[in-house]
Amino acid sequence: MVLLLPWLFIILWLENAQAQLEDEGNFYSENVYRILDNLLEGYDNRLRPGFGGAVTEVKTDIYVTSFGPVSDVEMEYTMDVFFRQTWTDERLKFKGPAEILSLNNLMVSKIWTPDTFFRNGKKSIAHNMTTPNKLFRLMQNGTILYTMRLTINADCPMRLVNFPMDGHACPLKFGSYAYPKTEIIYTWKKGPLYSVEVPEESSSLLQYDLIGQTVSSETIKSNTGEYVIMTVYFHLQRKMGYFMIQIYTPCIMTVILSQVSFWINKESVPARTVFGITTVLTMTTL
């Protein structure tokens, strides 16, 4: 009987500890529910943070998961990115057990978000499998991190005079659609050098080498006001070796082959004809 007493105390202590953990978990959940309910009470997502006062600053950065393909014919390129935006909304400040609330995409529709659009985008797709690919985090000081996974098809003006030794700078331009710079400004979150990341394995292009990227910002004027435009330039250099193997070398060999017909006996008409036709067909299929 004496030997069983320590085990009984251990069992009782474990049950008590488990009950305390469950109570703490329930208390934590109830606090989070209460925080979210209080945050959204009286919140109007039609108005930007600081409406009528300070300018709203939206900090951005981009992580490129896949770059390409690049089309010379359509003068466009495609890439898959994680597009991140960070801003502060004083109305969403809270105090509680958690410093950061990681919420699902349903919360996004209940608060104000920037109306960012891609100015030179031909087509942009937000991924929704298996659920909308969106990340939403809220900090105690009202700072919001909002990340989306996008596939962007954008315009890339090209000057092909120096083909195949040409290079191009394909831009990606984005900004606010409706808010002028007196209400919203965009900045690079990590500075001009580190706000756009392109891993080497993300840019395996057939005809080009992605040699780097640069960023800039500018203000443009329109009939409705002045707007801040952020621009990323992806610098491409055409692969000379690819075109030497695929085009130039076959053309040189075909021209040399076409000269062989002049060394064939003039009375061997079928042989000369075959060489001539073969040369023409080869040139048309390159």
Structure tokens that stand for 240 in this block? 């000379």
- pLDDT reading at 6 higher than 70: no
d(CA 70, CA 208): 8
Please, what is the average pLDDT of the chain?
A: 86
What's the pLDDT score for residue 188?
96
DSSP summary character for residue 246: I
pTM: 0.80
d(CA 230, CA 228): 7
Q: For the segment 230-259, what is each residue's pLDDT rounded down to a tens digit?
A: 999 999 999 888 888 888 888 888 888 777
Map tokens 């996974």 to a residue. 149
* C-alpha radius of gyration, the chain, whole number: 31
Q: For the segment 87-143, what is each residue's pLDDT rounded down to a tens digit?
A: 999 999 988 777 889 888 888 989 999 999 999 999 999 999 888 999 999 999 999
Fold observed for domain 56-238: Acetylcholine Binding Protein; Chain: A, (2.70.170)
Map tokens 């004496």 to a residue. 2
What's the pLDDT score for residue 25?
43
- List Cβ neighbours of 178 (8 Å cut-off, separation of 6 or more): 115
User: Lowest-confidence range among 66-75, 166-175, 201-210, 265-274?
Assistant: 265-274
d(CA 37, CA 143): 18
d(CA 255, CA 201): 39
Greater confidence (211 vs 285) lies with 211
d(CA 125, CA 232): 19
Helices assigned H by DSSP within the chain? 4-40, 191-194, 240-243, 249-259, 269-285
Structure tokens that stand for 193 in this block? 């050098």
Mean pLDDT of 266-271: 76
Spatial strand order of the sheet with 116-118 comes to 116-118, 167-176, 225-238, 208-222
d(CA 193, CA 59): 14
Nearest to 261 by CA among 250, 251, 281, 275: 275
